[in-house]
Amino acid sequence: MEYRMETIDFDIKIIGKGIVVQTNDSFKTIPALWDNAETEGFLQQLIDLSWKERKCTLEGILGVCGNEAAIKEDEFTYFMGVQYDGEVPNELETIHISHNLWAVFPNVSNAWERLYIDWLPNSGYELVKIPCIECYYPPNHEPSNELWVPVIVK
């Protein structure tokens, strides 16, 4: 399974909105959330607020999945947002993520399917209690999206 390791040596501040989703339906619900975000103009608002200058390779529109990488509850909060250092608009929430070692996989949907079964048991890493982050890049970026998974060495 293709991946790379990334280190982020600063706290990630993400602004956006959290929506509770049912874990069993998340592969259907989350794409619908993005469709609604585009229709309602929220996606454009996130694009307008996104980084002008990159601080790291985690750039783009972000989907933060739950409270920790191993989602075991019946429901979790899916947070749609962007990295942002400016003043937060009143209608948006802020979350902070502080972790330095990330396994990064191209193609979010394929990565989710294989992460727990194929990669994790053989990787030499274990998950930490930090959420995974889906990163959706601007047009013409290769890859178009990635899954960032917080890990530590076993």
User: What are the tens digits of pLDDT across the range 101-147?
Assistant: 999 999 998 999 899 899 999 999 999 999 999 999 888 888 999 99
- Reading the block at residue 133, the tokens are 């982050």
User: What are the tens digits of pLDDT across the range 58-106?
Assistant: 778 999 999 888 888 899 999 999 998 888 999 999 999 999 999 999 9
Distance CA 1, CA 122 (A): 11
User: What are the tens digits of pLDDT across the range 16-62?
Assistant: 999 999 999 999 999 999 999 999 999 999 988 886 555 556 778 99
What pLDDT does residue 81 have?
Answer: 96
What is the Cα 85 distance to its own chain's centre? 17
Omega into 143 within 30° of 0, i.e. cis?
yes
